Amino acid sequence: MRMTYREAIRQAMHEALAADARVFLMGEDVGKYGGTYACSKGFLEEFGPERIRDTPLSELGFVGAGIGAALGGMRPIVEVMTVNFSLLALDQIVNTAAALRHMSGGQFSVPLVLRMATGAGRQLAAQHSHSLENWYAHIPGIKVLAPATIADARGMLGPALADPDPVAIFEHAQLYNMEGELPENWRCDIATAAVRRAGTDISLITYGGSLPKALAAADQLAAEGIAAEVIDLRVLRPLDTATIAASLRKTHKAVVVDEGWKSGSLAAEVMACIVEQCFFDLDAPVARVCSEEVPIPYAKHMEEAALPQVPKIVATVKQVLGK
């Protein structure tokens, strides 16, 4: 079946709402407006205001309400419009949701799913173009997912809702209009990375909105006789280091592509894991392609220059290969 990334997310939420009365959706504009990215269009009419809840503009408040509902036995899906707005709820997420199992000695769990749009590329300038997934991947007590395909957009929500602990799902806003076939085997786990393209010369390791760019770069490299393996991390916490290591033991070289800023990036964590586990398998230093160390510009040409792009990925691969 052919569908958009947006429709895959919508179908996943619809299935969850229809199957389990404990599941409800809350967030800004999720009801009457149908969601900022139209992922909940029609839900209010079908499921009613008790289960599709428009909230005030207070992330601290409604994320906290979601945590309370999860503690009370519900399975809330809390939608935060964009990742920058989640900063207003960091105290609830980090100090409450992520920590309650530990602080209660295992007596309490917080089965909360937190969905949010992330990433740049839409000319929304410095305040609405962040990629802060690595901030959340730093926190023990939560799982962090970054679906980059139609199948993962459809398949990750179910196991996230079944998880007894908080799960944050980062949906790159550039992917919502992406269209493709939903495979029959779309169900997936939320523990492993995926090899999206096999190769033998170098490993391209990425996630989220950078996956299409990494695949496009691999296509260009293939035309020049370079076989790049593309790994979609898709689960940012906990990292599937086994899949990364298996690829490195085959290719012996790696480039990490990450839309986050270079300093303190998820790319840095992946590179550290490679050095810790695969140092003697490497034939060249690991490289990374990240966003420039500036607030994301508004002007289109400047925004494009600030973000990882296919030509830079290709050039970095050739540099690592000594070509």
Residue 53 neighbours by CB under 8 Å, 6+ apart: 24, 25, 26, 27, 30, 31
Catalytic-residue membership of 14: no
Q: Are 236 and 266 in contact (CB under 8 A)?
A: yes
Residue 161 neighbours by CB under 8 Å, 6+ apart: 16, 20, 23, 75, 77, 111, 113, 167
Catalytic annotation, pick one of 59, 79, 133, 259:
59
What the block records as the tokens of 311 is 């030509």
State how beta strands 235-237 and 143-145 pair: antiparallel
Q: Are 30 and 46 in contact (CB under 8 A)?
A: no
Instruction: Using alpha carbons, select from 128, 71, 131, 73 the residue that is nearest to residue 101.
Output: 71
Neighbours of 61 (CB within 10 A): 14
Instruction: Using alpha carbons, select from 196, 174, 195, 199 the residue that is nearest to residue 317.
Output: 199
Catalytic annotation, pick one of 7, 28, 79, 128:
128
Catalytic-residue membership of 301: no
Q: Are 96 and 57 in contact (CB under 8 A)?
A: no
Q: Are 109 and 163 in contact (CB under 8 A)?
A: no
Residue corresponding to tokens 């490679």: 274
By annotation, the residues acting in catalysis are 59, 128
